[in-house]
Structure 1
Amino acid sequence: MTYFMASVEQAVSELGGKVASARAERGWSLQQLADRSGLSPAAIHKVEKRGMTPTITSLMKIAAALGKSVSYFIDESEPLRPVTHIRAAERSLLYTSKKGLTLENISGRYGPFFVAGAEAHVDPNADSGPHPMVHPGEELVVVLEGSMRFEVGGEPYELDTGDALHFRTTLPHSWSNPSTVPARAIWLAIRSS
């Protein structure tokens, strides 16, 4: 297989994960993205699970609904790298629509990896919003400083410094920092294969 063909296949294989990740950043359900893009929830699910490659028209609708450019989903500029080394002083900030949450990238991007991680800085009284999130995959959170509260599948979990929580994100979930001091955590998102 030529490098070009491998590059094309790599871009196509990463597309579904990028759609799922962008949807998760906004805390949207499949139905919410479907409503905004004019596509069916089933079609979006197939794209995210790599069961279907979208047409350019469908991809343009998804991109517009998510506020992204089409090139975001098919960018081939970064070569496949099986190892990512990120120095503490060189961490990039990750996009999040959640107020009071800052995410510093500590991992490689989805595609060659199944896990994406961030050091999360959570302001006092910040939360994930009024509606629980649901998306494919898993999350693992380790609180390094302060405390956080999660609700997963209707059950509350209070996390203090040193505590961890690992859960499937197909369960409705939300988070908050109900205290008056900032919290800091390592937050891993594991995409489903």
Structure 2
Amino acid sequence: MTAAPPETRSSGDPRSGGTAAWEPIVGAIGPKVRDLRQQLGLSLQQLAQRSGVSAAAIHKVERGDMVPTITTLLKLASALERPIGHFVEGADAAPVAAHVPADARPAVRSEIEGVDLDGISGPPERFRAAGAVATVAAGAGGRARPRPGEELVLVLEGTLDFEVAGERYTLRDGDSLHYPTDRPHSWSNSGSAPSRAIWMSVPEA
């Protein structure tokens, strides 16, 4: 595609047909709201209760389907503990990385009894990899259906037993295991105490 001559590129004049200077700033509001909500470990419903803004409206703001009014933005800023200027700074000021403080790790839903997960990764809308600190009770375990991707596990405390495509591994403090998830795999805590591990999952691109 041929680049437009300099004189025809947007200068902020709506008659130019280009992108106005304020559009990137407005477009960054939704991602900033979403990132802060997730950093604080809040669901849409929880933020709605805090702010007095409906969950449906917040969802539209985060997706960029709705530009919030000043009143709505003030309510969200207060609930997210940020000055309103945080949301209307230049688009370049939006964080590139996702910071998850240790005391604000969001709880991740676990379908396996005896497993608690605290999220450590950024929002799934921006990142492919997902990670959590897993606390696995003694006797707990699971078997996963093969699916494209990879997993990486680092044991922090205790032991975990894995079977990947018929191969058996026992991981203890400091041990790690990296394996493709497109092969049959299972794991369990056969010890007498809970185990803690960092569990990373990367789906196929």
Query: Between Structure 1 and Structure 2, whose CA radius of gyration is higher?
Result: 2
- Residue 103 of structure 1: CA displacement? 0.5
Query: Structure 1 residues 177 and 82 mapped into 2: Cα distance closer, same or farther (>3 Å)?
Result: same
The question of 1:77 aligning with 2:62 is answered: yes
Query: Structure 1 residues 165 and 158 mapped into 2: Cα distance closer, same or farther (>3 Å)?
Result: same
The question of 1:163 aligning with 2:148 is answered: no
Q: Which amino acid aligns with 1:147?
A: T
Partner of 1:185: 197
Query: Structure 1 residues 102 and 78 mapped into 2: Cα distance closer, same or farther (>3 Å)?
Result: farther
- Residue 116 of structure 1: CA displacement? 0.8
Query: Structure 1 residues 112 and 123 mapped into 2: Cα distance closer, same or farther (>3 Å)?
Result: same
Q: Tell me how far apart the structure 1 counterparts of residues 60 and 182 of structure 2 sit (CA, whole Å).
A: 28
Q: Tell me how far apart the structure 2 counterparts of residues 85 and 139 of structure 1 sit (CA, whole Å).
A: 22
Partner of 1:87: 101
Q: Tell me how far apart the structure 2 counterparts of residues 151 and 76 of structure 1 sit (CA, whole Å).
A: 44
- Residue 82 of structure 1: CA displacement? 3.6
Which structure 2 residues correspond to residues 34-183 of structure 1 after superposition, within 5 A? 77=62, 82-128=96-142, 131-183=143-195
TM-score (norm 1): 0.58
TM-score (norm 2): 0.54
Q: Tell me how far apart the structure 1 counterparts of residues 185 and 123 of structure 2 sit (CA, whole Å).
A: 23
Partner of 2:45: none
Alignment size in residue pairs? 125
Q: 8 Å contact 1:81–1:112 — kept in the other structure?
A: no
Q: SS of 1:77's equivalent? A: helix
| Unaligned runs of at least 5 residues, structure 1 | 11-70
| Unaligned runs of at least 5 residues, structure 2 | 1-18, 32-55, 65-93
Q: Which amino acid aligns with 2:178?
A: H
Q: Deviations over 1:11-41 (max 9, x none)?
A: xxxxxxxxxxxxxxxxxxxxxxxxxxxxxxx
Q: 8 Å contact 1:146–1:181 — kept in the other structure?
A: yes
The structure whose RCO (Cα within 8 Å, separation 6+) is larger is 1
Which 4+ residue blocks in structure 1 deviate beyond 4 angstroms? 78-81
- Residue 114 of structure 1: CA displacement? 2.0
